[in-house]
Amino acid sequence: MFVHSYRSSYDSKVLGQVPKLNLRLLIKSILELLKNSIVKFHKLLRSTIS
């Protein structure tokens, strides 16, 4: 019983921390992708214009 309650509290602590980390990583990777695609698009645009 004690072990179970300890485990559930530990799980909730870990699960409480995981989404924040995932969200941060997700936002970071999305921003990185956006930046890369914008740079590629900009290069493509410049090469097409000139």
Residue with tokens 């090469």: 47
As a whole number of Å, the CA-based R_g of the chain is 22
pLDDT score of 42 more than 60: yes
- The pLDDT of residue 21 is 72
pTM beyond cutoff 0.85: no
Question: Half-sphere exposure (CA, 13 Å, Cβ side) for 37?
Answer: 6
- The pLDDT of residue 23 is 83
pLDDT score of 33 more than 90: yes
In this structure, which amino acid lies at residue 17? Q
